[in-house]
Each structure stands twice: as structure tokens, then as C-alpha cells.
């Protein structure tokens, strides 16, 4: 089957979702009001609350939520064939992610731009808020560990990307200085930055830097993981304008350029889908599609992380309430497009089925490497770029996204540790350096604890990360549903996704529990149990909160 | 010189200029909006330290540069109220320097 057909089908469905379904949700369920005074206007302070042009806000929201996760998840999940992954990404984006992201903005805007965490406390209850904190901490922990493993794997497999990836940091540092000290014009600096980044990508294949398989008794992979955490710790302590701000900006530009190149190459080459539609020849040890598919692809179908962005920063900058549909729902569509590109690259970018099967030898294999190799194959044949350059380009794209998420995640984790220091009166824990060390230490423990001393097996926790992420999404959907019940509006459009997510999450946790037990991986077994307890508590919280608000509504009548 | 004259006569040039300034505006918004809050807070922290230096003598902390900082006090008066509130003091800590 031609990849263009899949591409067109996917894009058409998502466009229909945006133009029809989100319109219905905006008018009939959330009932957006163009005259509502948004927090950006009500509390305008020029710092956090700033009314922002909706296109700017969309760009900002989209680049914050789109990272490496919508690439890694779908690229792992195509092991069951491309149809299940494709359907979940498309329908997940339309009926789950869009409604969730859009709803999180709406809920926050209607409640003084509070974050979902605070809203859980206000709308659902104090207990739910504590669960929320724990779930957030687990998500951050896993995301940092997983992404360190992903980048380390990329650095080991694609040595041509080492120079561009680390060079990109240098480019960002220089750009930051150019803007703040030299006050140079931004369009000029943007062009210089992008050109410098692509020049680095161009020379990457001629200056490969291969980390030896073993250095002083430690595997090369483990060295990369340690280096990455060292970098992330320093980056998360630096003032944001030095590195984070210019790097995010360059990354955002790179995201659009990368998407255009990938989609353009697919259209020009028109590859055929090499991978089977439904894979009935999955490698031994692959868990069953149901329910694991729904936690393997989190970002790209629905992700709780988006709720944090939606309610944390986006809602404070929303100019008009009606903009929430464009920013939130279309942001989710953008992410769905990235996931779709990842699926196509990882299934159509191979010459033969045997090549594809050689890539997907076990569950958790393939993944982002398949995305890079498949994507490079398509770009090479579609645009005529040398395959090594194309592979470097995609590796840099994936590694930079993962890196950005890592140091943002580490920064957030540090805040949580500092907050705990505040709550429990531990002055030492409030120091940024100490809190950062604690955050790095806990992530390293997970990265190595999950996958052994070489840190290569860290992707085992990917589905566990997806599960925790879905729990977070469940909590956000719960807040929206309770708000809808109190407003006497239909709750099914958020309740059905919520119940579906909870059922799939708990089922996936139970299945993984058994797998970890059989593999006698007790470290992950314990982690699984922790997440499972959180999941059950979330489910019970949902039931009781809904029952309570429905009873309140009935009593009022 | 005849810049205005030219602009009035070449709508294409004007359109390009307008487009460029629009692009510049968007780029700057995209660049700054994400970290506006964090940077403003960091800047405020630095300003707070400066406030402490300027008002230190009044709170019994000897300041060798007091003669010079005294001159700055009226300039910082406007920010004084917000500052002492942020530092956890409901009312002005200085007897002879009331603001609320």
C-alpha cells in the first residue's frame, strides 16, 4: 500500500476532527465565550500573564508539547503492524488528545489560570492533589531516565550525529549571547542559527566520533548516560536565557523544518508500506497489543504531560477564550502529525520486509533507531540527500528534542525536591545544587536499575512511562468532567476517554506486573506496584468525585 | 531624505517592509514569550538584593556606601511597598518610612 494514501487519510481525518468535532466541543460542551475576560487580561502583569497572539501561542504550545516521545512511542508500537498504531494515533488525536489539551486550557482559564495540580485540589479534593504530585514526580523520573537511554543509544549507533548534537549546544550558547549582549535582530540570528545547525549536520558524517564499547570497565552506553545527566544538571542550573531559551527557539525552528522535509520526502518518493498491516509474526516476548498499544503510544495519541503545559503557561497567555480551540486542539493535531510521520518512517522506510524484521527483533527494539534509518531511507530516495546526512539530520532532531525534555524535566524535578524541603523543613534540600543532585541521582538509579550496569535496557520502562503519563491525563480529564457535571453539561465526551484510559492503564500494569515477576526484575516490579496503586487510587477518586458531584446536582434540583 | 517619498510611491517595497517587521515581531514574541516569567523573576531577585543594599542602613546594617545610596531611596520608593510585602513583612519594617 502506498504511504501517500495513509498520509492523506490520516491528515484528512485529523483535519475533519479539527473542523467538525472540535467545533462541536467548543460550542456545545465547553461553550467558549469570546467576551469572557481571560486571566491574561484580568491579571496582566507583563511577566506571567501576557495576552499573546494566538499563532505565537500555538507555536509556543506546540513546540513545548512535541518532543521525542511522539517519535519513540509510535516507532516502538509499529511492532504490532502499522494499522493499530495508525488508528490509535488518528482516533486518539481526534477524540482523546484534542479534547484533553483543549479542555485543560479551558478548565484552567475558567479558574484563574491555575495549574491542573491546583485544580485537582480545588475541584476534586485534597487527596487527589497528593496523588497528582506523586504521579507527576514518577512521570518526570521516567521521562528523564528513558530519554537519557534513548539519546545514549542514538549516540552509540549514529556516531556521525555526535558533533552536530553537542555543537548545537554551542550554537545555542552563542545565539543567546548575540541576542542579549549584542542586541541583534532576531530574524537575522534565526537564519544564522539554523544555517549553523545544518552546516554542522552537513559535516557530521565526515567527522564521526565513536565512543568505544568499553571505557575503563564501563560500557560506552553508560558513559553517554552519565555525560548526558551531567550536561542536563548543569543546563538546568544555568539562567534560562543562557542556554534553554535560545536552544528551544532553534529546536522549534528545527521541528518545522524537519517535519516539512519528512513529509515532503514521503510525497516525492511515495514509498510502499513494507511492514505488515497487522503483524502476526511478532518476535517472542512481545506483549499483547491490547492493552499495551494504548500505553506505548502516549504522546501522539493522548498525553498527560500536555495538560501541564496547557494549564501551566498557555492558559496564562490566552488572549481570547475562543483561541483555546486553535491552540489546544490544533496543538494536539500537530503532535498527531509528528506521530504519523514517525509511523510512516518506521514502516515504509525499508527496502524489504526482512530488513524491517531485522530491525524489530524484540519488543522495545527498533524504536527511534527504526525512525532514523527508515526516515533517512525515505529522505535519501525522495529528496536525494545522502543517506548518512539524512540519518544525521533525524538523529539530531530526535536527540535535541529528548535533550530539551530532559533538562526541563530535571528542572521541574528539582523544584519538587525543593518544595519537599520547604514542606518538611529541610533547609539543605532547598539548595538548588543539592536538589539537582537528588533529581539526577534518582534518575540514574532508574536508568541503570532498570537496564543493568550498561544502561542499555532502559527502554523496558517505556510502557511504564506511558502508563504513568496516561494516569496524569486521566486526572486532567477527571477535573474537566467534574466541572462539566457541575455546569450540567454532557459529560460523555470526556468521561468515555477517561474510563477507556483507566481500564487500559490498569490492564497494562497488571500484565507488566506478571512480566516483571517472570523476568525476576524486582526493581521494576516495585515501580509497577507503586504506579498500580496510584492508578487504583485515581480510579476510585474518579468514581467518588463523580458520584459526589452528581448527588450535589440532584440535591440542588 | 526622501525616504518617505519613496515609500509612498512603491507599494511593493512597503509591503515587504511591513512583512519584515511582522516577521520580526513574531520571531521576537516566539523567542521571548516562553521564558518571560522566569527571566522577570530572576531580574526581580537581583533587584531585591539591591533594595536591601539601599535600605540596609535604616534597618541597622552598616553600609559604607550609605551616603550614596541615600540618594537612591526616593527613586526606589515606589517599589518599596511591593518589596517588603514580598520579603514577608506585612507592614513597612521602618518606623519613619511608612508606606502602608
- A27-52 pLDDT, tens digit per residue, is 999 999 999 999 999 988 777 888 99
> Cβ contact (<8 Å) for A241 and B39?
yes
Residues on chain B touching A53 (C-beta within 8 angstroms): 26, 29
Q: What is the pLDDT of residue A373?
A: 93
Mean pLDDT of A429-456: 85
Out of A177-191, A319-333, A363-377, A507-521, pick the least confident: A177-191
Residues on chain A touching B47 (C-beta within 8 angstroms): none
Q: What is the pLDDT of residue A348?
A: 94
Q: What is the pLDDT of residue A85?
A: 96
CB B55 within 8 A of CB B94: yes
Residues on chain B touching A179 (C-beta within 8 angstroms): 31
- CA-based torsion, B50, B52, B58, B61: positive or negative: negative
Mean pLDDT of B74-94: 78
Residue A512, pLDDT > 80, answer yes
A140 Cβ contact list (under 8 Å, min separation 6): A409, A412, A413, A416
Tens digits of residue pLDDT in B27-51:
888 888 878 888 888 888 888 888 8
CA distance A47 to chain B (A): 5
Residues on chain B touching A247 (C-beta within 8 angstroms): none
Q: What is the pLDDT of residue A460?
A: 79
A190 in contact with B, Cβ within 8 Å? yes
CA distance B67 to chain A (A): 32
Q: What is the pLDDT of residue A458?
A: 62
Q: How many CB pairs under 8 A join A and B?
A: 57
A319 Cβ contact list (under 8 Å, min separation 6): A38, A40, A41, A51, A52, A53, A54, A57
According to DSSP, residue A433 is labeled: H
Domain extents for chain B?
1-34, 38-100
According to DSSP, residue A311 is labeled: I
Residue B1, pLDDT > 50, answer no
Report how far residue A363's alpha carbon sits from residue A75's, in angstroms, rounded to the nearest whole number.
11
Report how far residue B63's alpha carbon sits from residue A55's, in angstroms, rounded to the nearest whole number.
51
B16 in contact with A, Cβ within 8 Å? no
Residue A100, pLDDT > 90, answer yes
CB A435 within 8 A of CB A429: yes
CB A526 within 8 A of CB A120: no
Q: What is the pLDDT of residue A20?
A: 97
A248 in contact with B, Cβ within 8 Å? yes
Residue B94, pLDDT > 80, answer no
Q: For B36, which residue in chain A has the nearest alpha carbon?
A: A47
Cross-chain CB nearest to A241 (options B20, B30, B35) = B35
* Burial of A166 per CB tally in 10 Å (0-12, 13-18, 19+): middle
CB A409 within 8 A of CB A143: yes
Domain extents for chain A?
3-556
Q: What is the pLDDT of residue B23?
A: 85
B89 in contact with A, Cβ within 8 Å? no
Mean pLDDT of A101-130: 91
| Residue among A476, A474, A472 at smallest CA distance from A106 | A476
Residue B80, pLDDT > 70, answer yes
> Cβ contact (<8 Å) for B33 and A56?
yes
> Cβ contact (<8 Å) for B29 and A186?
no
Residues on chain B touching A239 (C-beta within 8 angstroms): 39, 42
ipTM for the whole complex: 0.71
Report the residue of A47, A52, A246, A313 to disrupt the B interface, i.e. the one with the largest count of B CBs within 10 Å.
A47
> If DSSP codes are grouped into helix, strand and coil, which group holds residue A515?
helix
CATH topology of domain A3-556: Amino acid/polyamine transporter I (1.20.1740)
Amino acid at each position: 500500500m502506498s504511504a501517500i494514501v495513509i498520509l492523506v487519510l490520516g491528515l484528512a481525518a485529523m483535519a475533519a476532527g479539527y473542523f467538525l468535532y472540535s467545533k462541536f466541543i467548543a460550542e456545545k460542551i465547553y461553550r467558549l465565550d469570546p467576551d469572557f475576560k481571560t486571566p491574561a487580561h484580568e491579571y496582566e502583569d507583563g511577566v506571567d500573564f501576557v495576552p499573546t497572539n494566538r499563532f505565537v501561542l500555538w507555536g509556543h504550545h506546540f513546540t513545548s508539547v512535541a518532543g521525542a516521545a511522539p517519535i519513540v512511542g509510535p516507532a516502538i508500537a509499529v511492532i504490532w503492524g502499522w494499522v493499530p498504531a495508525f488508528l490509535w494515533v488518528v482516533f486518539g488525536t481526534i477524540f482523546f488528545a484534542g479534547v484533553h489539551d483543549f479542555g485543560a486550557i479551558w478548565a484552567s482559564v475558567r479558574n484563574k489560570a491555575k495549574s491542573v495540580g491546583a485544580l485537582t485540589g480545588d475541584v476534586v479534593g485534597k487527596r487527589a492533589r497528593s496523588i497528582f504530585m506523586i504521579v507527576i514526580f514518577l512521570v518526570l523520573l521516567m521521562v528523564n531516565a528513558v530519554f537519557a537511554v534513548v539519546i545514549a543509544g542514538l549516540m552509540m549507533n549514529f556516531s556521525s550525529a555526535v558533533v552536530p548534537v553537542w555543537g548545537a549546544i554551542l550554537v545555542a550558547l552563542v545565539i543567546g549571547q548575540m541576542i542579549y549582549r549584542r542586541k541583534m535582530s532576531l530574524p537575522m540570528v534565526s537564519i544564522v542559527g539554523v544555517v549553523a545547525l545544518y552546516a554542522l549536520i552537513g559535516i557530521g558524517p565526515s567527522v564521526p566520533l565513536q565512543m568505544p564499547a568499553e571505557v575503563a570497565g564501563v560500557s560506552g552506553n553508560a558513559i553517554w548516560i552519565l555525560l548526558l545527566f551531567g550536561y542536563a544538571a548543569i543546563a538546568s542550573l544555568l539562567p534560562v536565557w543562557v542556554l534553554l531559551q535560545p536552544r528551544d527557539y532553534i529546536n522549534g525552528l528545527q521541528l518545522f523544518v524537519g517535519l516539512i522535509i519528512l513529509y515532503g520526502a514521503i510525497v516525492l518518493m511515495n514509498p510502499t508500506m513494507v511492514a505488515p498491516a497487522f503483524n502476526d509474526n511478532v518476535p517472542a516476548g512481545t506483549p499483547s497489543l491490547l492493552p499495551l498499544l494504548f500505553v506505548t503510544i502516549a504522546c501522539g495519541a493522548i498525553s498527560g504531560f500536555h495538560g501541564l503545559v496547557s494549564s501551566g503557561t498557555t492558559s496564562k497567555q490566552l488572549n481570547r477564550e475562543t483561541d483555546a480551540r486553535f491552540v489546544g486542539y490544533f496543538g494536539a493535531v500537530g503532535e498527531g502529525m509528528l506521530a504519523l510521520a514517525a509511523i510512516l518512517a518506521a514502516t515504509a522506510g525499508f527496502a524489504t520486509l526482512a530488513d524491517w524484521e531485522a530491525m524489530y527483533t524484540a519488543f522495545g527494539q527498533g524504536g527511534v533507531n527504526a525512525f532514523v534509518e527508515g526516515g533517512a531511507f525515505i529522505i535519501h530516495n525522495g529528496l536525494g540527500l545522502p543517506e548518512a546526512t539524512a540519518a544525521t539530520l533525524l538523529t539530531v532532531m530526535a536527540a535535541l528534542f529528548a535533550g530539551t525534555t530532559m533538562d526541563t524535566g530535571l528542572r521541574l524535578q528539582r523544584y519538587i525536591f525543593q518544595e519537599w524541603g520547604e514542606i518538611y523543613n529541610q533547609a539543605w534540600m532547598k539548595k538548588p545544587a543539592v536538589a539537582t543532585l537528588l533529581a539526577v541521582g534518582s534518575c540514574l538509579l532508574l536508568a541503570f536499575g532498570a537496564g543493568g550496569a550498561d544502561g542499555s535496557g532502559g527502554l523496558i520502562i517505556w510502557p511504564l512511562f506511558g502508563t504513568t503519563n496516561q494516569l496524569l491525563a486521566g486526572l486532567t480529564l477527571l477535573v474537566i468532567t467534574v466541572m462539566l457535571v457541575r455546569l450540567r453539561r454532557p459529560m460523555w465526551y470526556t468521561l468515555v476517554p477517561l474510563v477507556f484510559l483507566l481500564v487500559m492503564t490498569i490492564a497494562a500494569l497488571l500484565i507488566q506486573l506478571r512480566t516483571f515477576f517472570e523476568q525476576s526484575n524486582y526493581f521494576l516490579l516495585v515501580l509497577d506496584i507503586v504506579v498500580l496503586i496510584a492508578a487504583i487510587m485515581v480510579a476510585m477518586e474518579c468514581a467518588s468525585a463523580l458520584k459526589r458531584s452528581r448527588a450535589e446536582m440532584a440535591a440542588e434540583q | 531624505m526622501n525616504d518617505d517619498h519613496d515609500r509612498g510611491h512603491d507599494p511593493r517595497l512597503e509591503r515587504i517592509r511591513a512583512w519584515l517587521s511582522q516577521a520580526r515581531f513574531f520571531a521576537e514574541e516566539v523567542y521571548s514569550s516562553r521564558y518571560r516569567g522566569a527571566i522577570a523573576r530572576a531580574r526581580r531577585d537581583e533587584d531585591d538584593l539591591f533594595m536591601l543594599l539601599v535600605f540596609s542602613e535604616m534597618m541597622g546594617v552598616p553600609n559604607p556606601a550609605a551616603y550614596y545610596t541615600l540618594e537612591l531611596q526616593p527613586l526606589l520608593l515606589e517599589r518599596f511597598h511591593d518589596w517588603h510585602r514580598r520579603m514577608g513583612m506585612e507592614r513597612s519594617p521602618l518606623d519613619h518610612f511608612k508606606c502602608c
